Chains A and B, each alone.
Chain A
Amino acid sequence: MYKYVIRRLLQMIPVLLGATFIIFAMVFALPGDPTAGMCGERPCSPGFVAQFRAEHNLNDPLPTRYAKYMANLAQGDLGTTFRGEQVSDELAQRYPTTAKLALMAIVFEALIGVLAGVFAGIRKGKFIDNLVLVSTLFVIAIPVFVIGETMQYYLGVKWSLFPVTVSPDATFYELLMPAFVLGSSSIAYAARLTRTNLVENLRADYIRTAIAKGLTRRRAIGLHALRNSLIPVITFVGADFGSLLGGAIVTERIFNIQGVGGYLYTGIHNRDGVSVVGTVTILVLVFLLVNLLVDLLYGVLDPRISHD
């Protein structure tokens, strides 16, 4: 088990290196001079251009720049953006907000999604099953910005039930609506996944045996069928948590949440390579860790899946 974890952690190093290099090369290989548009429709003064290029190592060839960047990264320095912000400061300020939002979305996903899936699964073909199937299909079919803007308009602007946008403090109450919006399609997927697996497992021999041996139906479903059915759901939710932490670009924009998604978006838009590479580096790391965690959880749910 420990060997497995250590091996997995070591595997992350080449993945991280490769991912950052690809992102770095892609961002900085784009044509065009970043100072060209900085001073509007007038070229920047030579002094400004010279200082800017020197400050951001723009005169070096790409491999040298990457090496310099990685050397700084090894010391925990994620670099300074074209606008003079420390990327690490920005991320440190933003990750807690995004993590809070993602966690709340995951709670919605796990609670509502699994619960709806279970109800639909044990009453297959009944009204509730159809209701879950139709409503999840509906949610999946609608793009998240439509859900977000509709909810914002009615619940926020029109009926004043929730704040329209999220303040820099990002309180629990303010994040409720965005978290629900962010998790909405995942809720639907989780519900469908749970339902399908549960339905399949309920037909399995071991459940029939368990019930034949006198176990109550509730116990047979709750303890035996559900536990097996949740493995794919955990995989899905785990991977989802990674991508939610990566920042929900659309949701964060709609509700003006000062999170990682918005930062990544502005970075790409401004062609501020440093902020993009820094954010993505952390993102890759988060993804790898979450994946590891999910793999370890399998063992807990199903002891047959062993890592030794």
Chain B
Amino acid sequence: MRGTARSVVMVAGVSAVTLLAAACGGGSGSTSTSSSAAAKTGGAVTVHGCNPQNPLIPGNTNETCGGNVIDAVTAKLVHYNAETGAPENDIADKIETTDNQNFTVTLKHGYKFQDGTEVKAKNFVDAWNWVSYGPNAQQNSYFFQPIDGFNDTQCADPACKTKPKTDKMSGLAVKDDYTFTIKTSEKVSNLPVRLGYTAFAPLPDSFFKDPKAFGEHPVGAGPFQFVSWTKNTEIKLAKFKDYSGKWAAKLDNVTFKIYQDEDAAYNDVIANQLDVTDSVPTSAMIDDKYKTDLPDRNAQKSVGVIQTITFAPTSVDPNYANPKIRQAISMAIDRKTIVKQIFNNTRVPATGWVSPVVDGYKANQCGEFCVYDPAKAKALLDEAGGFKGSRMTLAYNADSSHKAWTEATCNSIKNALGVDCVATPVVDFATFRSQITSHKMKGMFRTGWQMDYPSIEDFLAPLYKTKASSNDGEYSNPEFDKLIDDAAAATDPAQANAKYQQAEAILATDMPVIPMWYSTATFGWSTKVTNVKITAFGTIDLASLSLK
């Protein structure tokens, strides 16, 4: 969910075009090039940053601005490979299970927090219990939902007036200093993959004494330690000398410079006054201008983001109930032309519901329904008995750059199907989301998803499972749910992926959501730095970054 909250950041406006800019595209392959001149250690660099939304507590950070800082400061059980996104053990020595439900986690010895204490099993269990506990009001608490006993730690009423039954999840138990067990309420085959997410970071004992002070000065066991945060201006990190993991920092100091405007950051990179930027402004995307502005110091990489169009639940708007109508609409959208004309080819037309960056991705899951064919689309619509409503609507939040593509999409639908389609703006993201969750939104509306962890499951279960937390269209199909459950129970990863792919194929038949395109991130850097790696999440891998 960090993903979508990233779009909140985008919406929230520091750089209104982040996603657009962070979405530069070329195929599914990554072209993470960087001049591999001899990298030296030490030195200081500046990196484009934005102001964190919340105090810097891992359990409460679900957007990029704070996430980039927390990820550098903390180490988790699992680390995602900077290039492939594949999970690799970090603090965890091993995570063992035989049934996908009872996990035993063994920690490596010697990991230290930046306050000098050692990372022990209880630091994980205490942290997870604290973050999940309802009254602590942590935005990431839902990440612990699979763990047994999670519901007992949640507030019973919306106002959280009555205390939950317990503040400890029954599924977590400390065995000894370096071992603890996790029991999930249902089978979760990809639990180890999830454990690399920010919310699962261990917290030192000092955290529990004063969470508020921690939020201003986070402490983790990661390659960098936190130095200072001048609100809206800059965040400073320094190399953590006692870091004992495999991904030690090469640099001595990293400063996140906070910009109000991405053009300013971009100009600073050209002039070598800022070392790395993760946002290239739209103006520099036109005709690939950034490639001449920043020769040999730019890169693009596919990131785990997909843009979609969701249909309002049938109970809210019955006009779209027939899957054939939804398929017809999907076929009526000329993704290729829109991506070319509106996004300057910085996105890749989607052929399914899962991003190409994750393990288990299968191309063309959407089949012919994601291929532009106005004649077939019209025929399909006629077959379904035509569209009963007066006109189609496609809603978007007007505080970000969605106007152009929604209008183009509507035009494409209108031309192909002969049904009037109007792109309707909603004043801002907050209003937009509240209309969707309170079921006031009719017709179609834009949705986006950025993965929380690199797993095919994250693109399916939270979005399309019956009553799932981000199932905006209230899609429900018992067959789909069963396949997801079976996949979660499968002990063989290949088998699990096959089940997930079968589930994804059902979406093509029901078409609750139309896949639009996958995103790509574009980066630029100064002549001073080298080894710029972009992660599958579209962030800079600070640990490998170094001066030339």
Chain A residues with a Cβ under 8 A of chain B: 31-52, 83-85, 89-90, 93, 149, 152-153, 156-157, 160, 163-165, 168, 252-256, 258, 262-263, 265-266, 269-271
Q: List 9 A-B contacts (CB under 8 A).
A: A34-B430, A39-B8, A41-B1, A42-B462, A45-B137, A45-B142, A165-B265, A262-B232, A266-B260
**B501 located at the interface, meaning its Cβ lies under 8 Å from any Cβ of chain A in the complex:** no
Query: Chain A residues near B268 (CB, 8 Å)?
Result: 164-165, 256
Known: A42-B4, A168-B233. 14 other contacts (CB 8 A): A32-B427, A32-B428, A40-B62, A40-B63, A42-B142, A46-B159, A47-B134, A85-B231, A152-B267, A163-B273, A164-B270, A262-B260, A266-B232, A269-B399
Task: Determine the distance from Cα of A33 to Cα of B438 in the docked complex, in whole angstroms.
Answer: 11
Identity of the chain B residue whose Cβ is nearest the Cβ of A152 in the assembled complex = B267
- The CB with the most chain B CB atoms within 10 A, among A41, A48, A49, A50, is that of A41
Cα distance, A90 to B232, chains bound together (Å): 9
6 nearest CB pairs, A to B: A40-B4, A40-B5, A37-B430, A36-B434, A32-B431, A269-B13
| B101 surroundings in chain A (CB, below 8 A) | none
Q: Which of A40, A93, A156 has the most CB of B within 10 A?
A: A40
Q: What's the nearest-Cβ distance from chain A to residue B320, in Å?
A: 20
Kindly name the residue among B2, B154, B231, B432 whose own CB sees the greatest number of chain A CB atoms within 10 A.
B231
Nearest CB of A to B98, in Å: 32
Closest Cβ–Cβ distance, residue B163 to chain A (whole Å): 11
- Check: B135 CB closer than 8 A to any chain A CB: yes
Q: Which of the listed residues A42, A157, A265, A270 has the most CB atoms from chain B within 10 Å of its own CB? A: A42
A277 to B399: give the CA distance in the assembly, Å: 21
Q: Given the complex of chains A and B, what is the CA–CA distance between A254 and B261 in angstroms?
A: 7
Interface presence of B502 (CB below 8 A) = no
Q: Which residues of A lie under 8 Å from residue B154 when comparing CB positions? A: 45-47
A262–B15 CA distance with the chains assembled, in angstroms: 12
Q: A270's contact among B1, B12, B155, by CB below 8 Å, is which?
A: B12
* Nearest CB on A from B79, distance (A): 24
Determine the distance from Cα of A37 to Cα of B139 in the docked complex, in whole angstroms: 12
Count of A-B contacts with CB under 8 A?
A: 170
A49–B395 Cα gap in the complex (Å)?
25
Q: Does B53 contact A (CB under 8 A)?
A: yes
The smallest C-beta distance from A164 to any residue of chain B, in angstroms, reads 5
How many of chain B's residues have a CB under 8 angstroms from any CB in A?
65
Whether the pair B264, A37 counts as a contact (CB closer than 8 A) is: no
**Residues on A with beta carbons closer than 8 Å to the beta carbon of B158:** 46, 49-50
Pair A256/B431 contact, Cβ less than 8 Å = no
Contact B14 A266 (CB under 8 A): yes
Q: CB-nearest residue of chain B relative to A94?
A: B232
Kindly identify, within residues 236 to 261 of chain B, every residue whose CB is under 8 Å from any CB belonging to chain A: 259-261
Inside 8 A of A165's CB, which chain B residues have their CB?
259, 264-265, 267-268, 273
B431 lies within 8 A of A31 (CB): yes
A168 x B8 contact (CB < 8 A): no
One digit per residue, 1 when the CB lies within 8 angstroms of any chain A CB and 0 when it does not, for chain B 422-441 equals: 00000111111110010000
A254 to B281 Cα, complex, angstroms: 13
Decide: B264 and A254 in contact? CB cutoff 8 A. Answer: yes
The answer to the question of B27 belonging to the interface, with a C-beta cut-off of 8 Å to chain A, is no
Inter-chain CA distance A45–B150, complex, in Å, is 13
Task: State the Cβ distance, A247 to closest chain B Cβ, in Å.
Answer: 12
Whether the pair A48, B137 counts as a contact (CB closer than 8 A) is yes
If the complex has contacts A47-B155, A164-B273, are A32 and B434 also in contact, measured as CB distance less than 8 A?
yes
Docked Cα-Cα span, A265 to B399, in Å, equals 13
A82 closest partner in B (C-beta): B53
Whole-angstrom CA separation of A153 from B429 in the bound complex: 33
Within the complex, what minimum Cβ distance (angstroms) separates A264 from chain B? 11
**Residue in A35, A51, A163, A263 whose beta carbon sits within 8 Å of that of B232 in the complex:** A263
Any A CB within 8 A of the CB of B401: no
Contacts of A48 in B (CB 8 A): 137-139, 141
**Beta-carbon contact of A254 and B263 below 8 Å:** yes
Cβ of B7 under 8 Å from chain A: yes
Interface pair A164/B264, CB less than 8 Å apart? yes
User: Which residue from B8, B63, B260, B270 sits with its C-beta under 8 Å from A253?
Assistant: B260
Tell yes or no: B470 within 8 A of A by CB.
yes
In the complex, A254 Cα to B7 Cα: how many Å? Answer: 23
Identify the closest chain A residue to B157 (Cβ): A46
- How far is the CB of B192 from the nearest CB of chain A, in Å? 23
- Complex: A31 Cα to B63 Cα, angstroms: 24
Which of A42, A252, A263, A270 interacts with B470 by CB under 8 Å? A42
A60 vs chain B, min Cβ distance (A): 14
A50 to B14, CA, bound (A): 27
Per-residue CB contact flags for chain B residues 129-163 toward chain A (1 = under 8 Å, else 0) read 00000111111011000000000001101111000
Interface contact B469-A47, CB-CB below 8 Å: no
Q: Give every chain B residue within 8 A of A45 (Cβ-Cβ).
A: 134, 137-139, 141-142, 154
Per the bound structure, the CA–CA distance linking A263 and B231 in Å amounts to 11
Nearest-CB distance from B466 to chain A (Å)?
A: 16
Given the complex of chains A and B, what is the CA–CA distance between A160 and B270 in angstroms? 11
Interface assignment of B486: CB less than 8 Å from any CB of chain A: no
Give the interface centre of A49, A89, A93, A258 by most chain B CB atoms within 10 Å: A258
Chain B residues near A83 (CB-CB < 8 A):
51, 53-54
Cα A255 to Cα B267 in complex, Å, equals 10
Residues of B within 8 A of A33 (CB): 430, 434
Q: Complex formed: what's the CA distance from A109 to B467 in Å?
A: 63
Within residues 1 to 22 of chain B, which ones have a CB less than 8 A from any CB in chain A?
1-8, 11-14
A37 and B271 in contact (CB under 8 A), knowing A42-B4, A50-B160, A266-B13? no
Most buried by A among B53, B135, B261, B462: B261
By a CB distance below 8 angstroms, the chain B residues around A42 are 1, 4, 142, 462, 469-470
Instruction: Please tell me which one of the listed residues A31, A51, A93, A265 contacts residue B137 in the complex, with CB atoms under 8 A apart.
Output: A51
**CB atoms of B137 and A47 under 8 A apart:** yes
**CA of A89 to CA of B6, assembled, Å:** 27
The chain A residue with its CB closest to the CB of B216 is A84
Chain A residues with Cβ under 8 A from B139's Cβ?
38-39, 44-45, 48
The CA-CA distance from A253 to B271 in the complex, in Å, is: 18
Contact of B155 among A50, A89, A160, A271 (CB under 8 A): A50
**CB nearest neighbor in A for B432:** A37
For B7, what are the chain A residues with a Cβ–Cβ distance below 8 Å? 40-41
- Which of B134, B264, B469 has the most chain A CB atoms closer than 10 A to its own CB? B264
Given the known A-B contacts A41-B447, A157-B267, A266-B13, are A47 and B430 also in contact in the complex, defined by CB atoms under 8 Å? no
Chain B residues closer than 8 Å to A157, beta-carbon distance: 267, 270-271
- In the bound complex, CA of A265 to CA of B51 (Å): 14
CA distance A266 to B448 in the complex (A): 23
8 Å CB contacts to A: which residues of B138-192?
Answer: 138-139, 141-142, 154-155, 157-160
Residues of B within 8 Å of A252, CB to CB, are 260
- Bound complex: CA A157 to CA B470 (Å): 44
